[in-house]
Amino acid sequence: MEQVLRALLLGHDGLVAYLAVFSVLVACGLGVPLPEDISLSLGGYLASKGAASLPGMIAVGFCGILLGDSLIFFAGRRAGNRVDAGKGLFARVVTPEKKARVEVLFKRYGEKIVMVARFMPGVRAVTYFLAGSSGMPYSHFIFWDGLAALASAPVFVYLGFRFGGELEYLLQKLKEGQIVVFGTLIVGLLGYLGYRAWKTRRRTA
């Protein structure tokens, strides 16, 4: 996948560079199995080479993430019933096993799971699809998703920009540390949500 991303993103400059990164991130949001963090870092690498500006690439990364996520949210709003019947294109992505897993997370954490799911690639697309099919207001969805995107897009783009001269090293470390980083983020977010729930129950009692 890394070689595919290199071919798609590197070697461009200006508007084409922005469009390439934006398109790949939208595809990631739709469930295409491309690593979002590496895509963002390659965008930062392009900025480090003068092919794009750093603020511009951060903005493009942020907007690309939100658009991709929003598209699958509205796909859920439109096609949720067909998926429940085992029909349609998304029925292959929203499998009964993944659907059941995400439904449990929704019941436990509510709408905040949209934010947590950004760091859970295996169920991210399913979570956003079910958020749409369950009738969650789009304003709530984009709020939680936007918070998560603000925690990822600027960081990974800046890493690509800062360590652009050591691209191979950076990509290797991203691959090595991906599970640890995402795991830490997930544990931290879940711990925070659990703490908030505990405080709420304590006040109620």
The DSSP H or E segment spanning 184 is: helix 167-204
Instruction: With beta carbons less than 8 A apart as the criterion, state whether 129 and 73 touch.
Output: yes
Q: Where are the domains of the chain?
A: 2-204
Q: pLDDT tens digits, residue range 16-25?
A: 989 999 998 9
pLDDT at 39 over 60: yes
Tell me how crowded residue 110 is: count the other CB atoms within 10 A of its CB.
14
Share of the chain above pLDDT 90, in %: 18
List pLDDT tens digits, range 88-147.
556 566 666 777 777 887 877 788 888 888 877 667 888 888 888 888 899 999 999 999
| 3-class secondary structure per residue, 109-165 | HHHHHHHHHCCCCCCHHHHHHHHHHCCCCHHHHHHHHHHHHHHHHHHHHHHHHHCHH
Residue 34's pLDDT band (boundaries 50, 70, 90)?
confident
Q: Cα separation of 178 and 158, whole Å?
A: 16
pTM over 0.85: no
Cβ atoms of 12 and 46 closer than 8 Å: yes
Whether 6 shows a pLDDT value over 50: the answer reads: yes
